[in-house]
Amino acid sequence: MSSAASSHQTHSKRKKIKLTGVAIAVGGIFAVGPTLAADGADKSTDIGNIQDVIVTTGTRDTQKAARESLSPIDVISAAELQKTGQTDLRDALVKLSPSITRQAMGADAANLTSALTMRGLSPNHVLVLVNGKRRHTSANITADAGPQQGSTPVDIDLIPVSAVDHIEILRDGAAAQYGSDAIAGVINIILKSSSRGGSATTSVGQYNAGDGLNFGGAADIGTELGRDGFLHLSAEYRNQDHTNRGGIDSRTNTSINKILGDPEIKRESVAFNAGYAINDDVELYGFGTYAHRTSASYQNYRLPTVLPSIYPNGFTPQETSSENDYSLTGGIRGDKLGAWHWDLSSTYGGDDINIGMTDSANTSLFAATGSTPTGFHLAQYKNFQWTNNLDVGRPVDIGFLPAPLNISLGAEHRQETYQVGAGDAASSFGSGSQALPGLGALSVGSFSRNVLASYADFSTKLTPQWEVDLAGRFEHYSDAGNTTNGKFSTRYELDPRLAVRATVSTGFRAPSLAQEYYTSLAVSPTSATGLLGVNSAAARSLGAQPLKPEKSTSFNVGIVAEPVDKLSITVDAYQIGIKDRIVQGGSYSGQTAIDALTSSGLNLPSGLTSVQASYFANGVDTRTRGVDIVASYKTNLKEWGKIDWDFGANLNQTSVTRVAKDANGNILLNAQQIGYLTSATPRNKLIVGGVWTKDKWGTSLHVTRFGKTSTEATYYTGPNAFSTTTFNHIENTPKFITDLEVRYSFTNSFQVALGANNLFNVYPTKLPPENRYLGVSQYNIYSSQIGINGAFYYLRANYKF
């Protein structure tokens, strides 16, 4: 991990030779990606001189080196991603960035989608770009309670890792530059763009427990596109088996219940990146991704008494998904429109998920007809996003200033559509299919909105040492109204080895269409939890009010230092205040919840001991404060090789400053829901380690310390069972994870690596027996700092050509 962006050359007039790369446009930024020189030498990302490379995220200045950035930016190269041993992009970033975390495991359908968080906030507060263009979000909303409830994240695991040249992480609020969602930060994924060479990789691994076999392969290749173009293609396949970390089921005194574990996943993905120079000044470009993923996640075991004629030994339903995700961008840009450089582009992306259930049954249908299917189609969710951008910019020479005034202007149109399709008739008849009933006609709909935006950005130097940047953005949402946001950034160089920087910005996040309209019901053997669309009559009867945008104010103050040769340090302190955060609110139980759920068309099975209903609400104001520290140091051991040391730390704390009330005057959040926001993510995360290389050998060793978390756990036995007001306060002690990889290069092209993630097989803190549902859920998946699966060992082979 390095506090910079990858090496890019500025977009300038080129000779009519073979095209050297695709220009990356980040809201008016013009830069050419990793290139091949005229002699064919590979000039792709070089992390060895990271402080001197050009930054493309968080700035519209096309010639700004990393050491000169006004906002904190990390860069993670493809080589660093690979050395983590992780086959998913999200998990690789969690290993490398102290600011990024993930939930130990998702619940129900959320277990089928990958989400990440920055600075302890929601996945909804992270904006993801690909080659500088906004990426569409998942159609799969996290419906179950927890810190990520209501999120529809960008699932970056659907982008082939083999397509990634590097990733730039902006750790700062940036809604004034990029629009909605950029409250915690921005992740910009830059695709490979070389016109020659490529690589092929295969890997296999398994957990220490003997399950979760993970295998697959990936490849990429670059080729020339005519005399003046390039095309880079990438593909990937991945297969992951189930894991099971559940405890003993209290009903059977066996480990037959397999709900606590990772799903089975099969994923195929492809990507392309292309560019073609029409002449010396105008260039066409395009890039896209496509992924197909099938998943299956175990649900709670059903006893033989549920349907003995079909399942005499009981049954374990599996929630399934079949997903198609795609994105396509096309554009044209140039250097000369008068004195302006310009970029016109259009991006269309979508996510289409079909949710099903296998090894299940509809007991109501069986009672009425004497038969029931065992497999069901439950619902279909679609999310589409069409974005059109025009960006222009130019430097203006102001005589009394030591540097030109860089002017960037732009406009954006975005259309967003969210569609919900019903399940088959058998899935919603009566009490519906076991584990998760299908959606009926009352939940079906197609919802859309239009967004219009314009921005302006001005940057210059007031003195040779003092730089300032002022950005503003206006957006109009057809359903959420208008918002205007600004950002002021500054940097002062006290010495060539020491500089201070600061930013202040406002931001916003509009409620997603899924948050406004989604309705669902999850059924366990003894309980049911319903989520009502906030605009529905049932939700309004519980006090729901229309959602409004979240508003944020962010401050960042930092230093950039190189106190001695080969040692780089950045320290950034931040504060993020968010008003009207959209969270789960209005939690009701008992007959009130039953009435609300049935009035919305959701049918409940008989014999339940607990029924709860909730909806999304602008329920709380929060304030997040923290410090990010990033450092690197190079040691030359001469005949013993060299070591690249790195250290990263994130110290983070979120507090609630206000809890709202619903339309009926009731407090929207209970102690458990407040805990999800304030203490479910680690108070701190530290990563320390290094990479040793000598001749054909290489070793990576890193230790990550995850600070303590806590939770207000639900009781499942005793007098407070299923209470929504009384909880058990549990603290999870800090955890240390060690990752090790050893590599050997047989030739300059062929390398083999053997590694371990969580080398010493560390597990999360176990819950007390009274807080384990059915005795099985022995780990709290919402507040555990680390994954639930233990040590993972892998073997990888890589060939470059």
Name residues of the chain where pLDDT drops below 70.
Answer: 1-55, 61-66
Q: How do beta strands 126-130 and 185-191 pair?
A: parallel
Which residues are CB-neighbours of 393 under 8 A, at least 6 positions away?
28, 30, 60, 340, 341, 342, 406, 407, 408, 409
Dist. CA 457–CA 470, nearest whole Å: 6
Only one residue has tokens 């998943």, namely 295
Measured CA to CA in angstroms, residue 282 lies from 184, 379, 388, 391, 453 at distances of: 35, 46, 19, 14, 25
Task: Transcribe 79-125 into DSSP letters.
Answer: HHHHHT--SSHHHHHHHH-TTEE--S---GGGGGS---EETTS-GGG
What integer pLDDT is reported at residue 264 of this predicted model? 96
List the one residue out of 265, 358, 262 whose CA is nearest residue 319: 358
List the one residue out of 449, 455, 451 whose CA is nearest residue 485: 455
**Cβ contact 300:774 at 8 Å:** yes
**Cβ contact 29:132 at 8 Å:** yes
List the one residue out of 6, 23, 101, 12 whose CA is nearest residue 57: 6
Residue 76, amino acid: I
Residue 402 token pair: 């030591």
List the one residue out of 773, 609, 721, 715 whose CA is nearest residue 257: 773
Which residues are CB-neighbours of 69 under 8 A, at least 6 positions away?
4, 55, 58, 59, 491, 501, 560
In this structure, what are the phi and psi dihedrals at residue 624, rounded to the nearest 5 degrees? Answer: -110, 125
Measured CA to CA in angstroms, residue 113 lies from 44, 267, 508, 519, 786 at distances of: 31, 12, 24, 18, 18
Burial class (CB in 10 A: 0-12, 13-18, 19+), 607: exposed
What integer pLDDT is reported at residue 62 of this predicted model? 58
List the one residue out of 348, 342, 298 whose CA is nearest residue 320: 298
Dist. CA 622–CA 629, nearest whole Å: 23
What integer pLDDT is reported at residue 55 of this predicted model? 62
Dist. CA 132–CA 118, nearest whole Å: 19
Which residues are CB-neighbours of 774 under 8 A, at least 6 positions away?
249, 250, 251, 257, 300, 525, 526, 716
Backbone φ/ψ region at 519: left (φ over 0), alpha (ψ -120 to 50), beta: beta
What integer pLDDT is reported at residue 689 of this predicted model? 96
In this structure, what are the phi and psi dihedrals at residue 541, rounded to the nearest 5 degrees? Answer: -65, -20
In this structure, what are the phi and psi dihedrals at residue 515, rounded to the nearest 5 degrees? Answer: -65, -30
What integer pLDDT is reported at residue 565 of this predicted model? 92
**Cβ contact 523:435 at 8 Å:** yes
